[in-house]
Amino acid sequence: MLRQFIHQSCLLGALVALSTSQSLWAQSEGLSLSVKQAMPALSSLYLDLHQHPELSYHEKRSGERMAAEFEALGIEVTQGFGGHGVVGIYRNGEGPTVMIRADTDALPIVEETGKDYASKVTTIDAQGNSVGVMHACGHDVHMTNLVGTAQQLIKQKDQWQGTLMLVAQPAEEVGGGAKAMLKQGLFSQFPTPDHILGLHVSASVPAGKVAIAPGYALANVDSVDIRVKGRGGHGAYPHTTVDPVVLTARIVLALQTIVSREVSPLAPNVITVGSIHGGSKHNIIGNEVKLQLTLRSYDPKVREQQIAAIKRLTQGIAISAGLTEAEWPEVYVHQEESIPSTYNDPAQTARVRASIAKQLGEDNVWEASPVMAGEDFGLYGLTPAKRPITLFWLGAVPVADYDASQASGASLPSLHSSKFAPDYPATIETGVQAMSRAALDLFNHE
């Protein structure tokens, strides 16, 4: 009798497991088919956004297009938030609030992809220069993905309960958009999210796949200016001067000892001198040299250590050259452009990864390594509410190009390259499936 009971229990368990497996398969297949049916309209939206890129703080048309797409879905829309930002709220009963964010700004780059849909937009930048404008960082894909995900979640609203919060954020490329939206009250004027999701196209992962890094995913970023002072004079009489070019050469070399000798080798960090400007003529020793640096790290304490060390080293070199306190180098950190590292909450990220693998298949979800690029998405996880965030990479490289690169070792066009051209149909279709499944499962987890 006991043996029969055990047999029946095992059989019942197997049937339940099979039923659950079949249900999950049906859900994945249904979502996949639904996204495929939406692709013609989403492709059209992508091409429109790609051909009408706008620089940071000028994303008026992009914001209006996103607002129109949200309103067409019956979403409550607020425009002009934090600049040209858009917030969409869709309430679907009691449950958690899931926020999904996409950035909307483009870059001052002339597109050189050779595509028939390439951007031909030019504009005048803040310095009065005529520049091309291009979505060279994939924000057009991000916006399209946000709309596509909203479509799927509303279409399947009987499968979840809660509040969907859609954020089309401006000015990511200059590190100002998330700050502006949070300062205006993103988490006080609207529901404070329980979960925050985002994605970013990858120029090193093939279309059809995603990659996720738990923990630190992107870096702290600081822009630093150094004004090195000296005492100029004739190039034939250097002994009568304090040459700021020589001081600058010493400073450039000394900066690298911060990375190699002051910060722990177990704490990744970068100090790059990107620009040096000084002097006017062959035989003139000038009065100053200007440096522009970018600083990268993950740990906030390392960031503080870098900045303090730069100030100490530059001051010490000036003192050793006999300069007075008034002549010490000036170190200026552009706080308005500083952005923190993006730290993917490990528990939430594990759940998101499992959801995406369930939708796309385990082989199509890769483990990503942290990168030294920056993203202001990390700010959403650093508010007093301390909500968990997850940002994953969305493969965008045409598969044939990726395979050729792997075979030959040739480099692929990077993000911010004038030649970056994602396989947008495959990328968007994969992104909408991945983000929709992740959101659905987060809604149903509570």
Positions marked active-site: 105, 172
Two structure tokens written together for 101: 């964010």
Tell me, what amino acid is at 276? I
Q: How far apart are CA 146 and CA 42, in angstroms?
A: 10
Residue environment code for 206-228, b if the CB has 16+ CB neighbours within 10 A, otherwise e = bbbbbbbbbebbbbbbbbbebbb
Place of tokens 């400007």: 277
330 and 278 in contact (C-beta within 8 Å)? no
**Within a 10 A sphere around the Cβ of 405, how many other Cβ atoms?**
15
Q: How far apart are CA 163 and CA 148, in angstroms?
A: 17
109 and 418 in contact (C-beta within 8 Å)? yes
Two structure tokens written together for 107: 């870059």
244 and 286 in contact (C-beta within 8 Å)? yes
DSSP symbol at 258: I
* DSSP string for residues in 301-336: HHHHHHHHHHHHHHHHHHHHTT--GGGSPEEEE-GG
Two structure tokens written together for 359: 């939708």
Phi-psi map region of 82: left, alpha, beta (phi>0 left; psi -120 to 50 alpha): left
Place of tokens 């170190």: 331
| Residues in CB range of 24: below 8 A, 6 or more apart | 358
| Residues in CB range of 298: below 8 A, 6 or more apart | 216, 219, 220, 267, 268, 269, 341, 370
Place of tokens 């909450």: 345
